[in-house]
């Protein structure tokens, strides 16, 4: 998937089938890896095949299924690791969280930069804007560039992220989606952390949890 400047490669990784995205600048071939949950070598192989230079790794949140290949990719590429400040404890305790579910995960290195609402960063000629939408986790973030919104587990096609995990808050999630994400244009493409892509307009109209019909 691409436009004139942005190219998006998506793959499902790990036992929980997390959507990992490689978003790259078509002009410079610089790239960011979003939510490398597992299978670091596979992710690097896709990037290498496309001739991409991975500059950043971003975790939309700190849950163990989204961070398992952080160490591998950072060590192999020298990329910066970024996450929201409020999810740093989740990142640091991901191994213990995984064990609760009978799974194992490689501990992540410490992030190089902590992100917050309204922050921006560059990857090649792409500019990414950060939207803080807590509720699934305290530091859940969404990343917008070139009409594409990477939402982690905040919003799904026809659903929202679960809020019954430690640090979850249903009201905060609904408020964040409606006030921050639904202010974006209808045609904004939404890339969730699990399941198929959707669009802001479709979710605003039809999502039974946060859509307009649920608030009439």
Residue 146, CA distances (Å) to 55, 160, 187, 194 in order:
18, 23, 11, 21
Report the C-alpha gap between 113 and 117 in whole angstroms.
Answer: 13
Pick the CATH number of 6-215 from 3.40.50.720, 3.60.15.10, 3.30.70.1230, 3.90.120.10: 3.60.15.10
Report the C-alpha gap between 215 and 208 in whole angstroms.
Answer: 9
Report the C-alpha gap between 11 and 28 in whole angstroms.
Answer: 22
Q: Is the pLDDT of residue 215 over 90?
A: no
Task: Note the pLDDT of residue 2.
Answer: 60
Task: Note the pLDDT of residue 123.
Answer: 98
Report the C-alpha gap between 21 and 33 in whole angstroms.
Answer: 6
Task: Note the pLDDT of residue 213.
Answer: 82
Average pLDDT, integer, range 34-50? 98
Task: Note the pLDDT of residue 1.
Answer: 63
Task: Note the pLDDT of residue 31.
Answer: 98
Average pLDDT, integer, range 13-37? 97
Question: Phi/psi zone of residue 118: left (φ > 0), alpha (ψ -120 to 50 degrees), beta?
Answer: left
Residue 50, CA distances (Å) to 24, 36, 124 in order:
10, 17, 15
> For the chain, what is the mean pLDDT?
96
Report the C-alpha gap between 145 and 130 in whole angstroms.
Answer: 9
Residue 191, CA distances (Å) to 98, 99, 215 in order:
24, 28, 24
Q: Confidence band (pLDDT; 50, 70, 90) for 214? A: confident
Percent of the residues in the chain that have a pLDDT greater than 70, as a whole number: 99
Percent of the residues in the chain that have a pLDDT greater than 90, as a whole number: 96
* Domain parsing of the chain, residue ranges: 6-215
Report the C-alpha gap between 111 and 124 in whole angstroms.
Answer: 20
Which tens digits make up the pLDDT trace of 82-141?
999 999 999 999 999 999 999 999 999 999 999 999 999 999 999 999 999 999 999 999
Which tens digits make up the pLDDT trace of 190-200?
999 999 999 99
């Amino acid at each position: 998937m691409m436009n004139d400047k942005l190219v998006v490669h998506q793959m499902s990784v790990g036992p929980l089938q997390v959507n990992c995205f490689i978003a790259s600048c078509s002009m410079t071939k610089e790239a960011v890896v979003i939510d490398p949950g597992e299978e670091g070598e596979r992710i690097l192989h896709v990037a290498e095949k496309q001739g991409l230079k991975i500059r950043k790794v971003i975790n939309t949140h700190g849950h163990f299924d989204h961070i398992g290949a952080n160490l591998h990719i950072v060590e192999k590429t020298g990329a910066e690791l970024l996450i929201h400040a409020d999810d740093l404890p989740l990142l640091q305790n991901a191994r213990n969280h995984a064990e609760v579910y009978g799974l194992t995960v490689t501990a992540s290195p410490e992030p190089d930069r902590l992100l917050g609402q309204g922050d921006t960063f560059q990857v090649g000629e792409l500019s990414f804007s950060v939207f803080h939408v807590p509720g699934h986790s305290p530091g859940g973030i969404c990343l917008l560039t070139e009409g594409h919104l990477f939402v982690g587990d905040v919003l799904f096609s026809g659903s929202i992220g679960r809020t019954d995990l430690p640090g979850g808050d249903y009201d905060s999630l609904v408020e964040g989606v409606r006030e921050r994400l639904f202010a974006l244009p209808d045609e904004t493409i939404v890339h969730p952390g699990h399941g198929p892509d959707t669009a802001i307009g479709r979710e605003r109209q039809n999502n039974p949890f946060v859509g307009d019909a649920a608030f009439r």
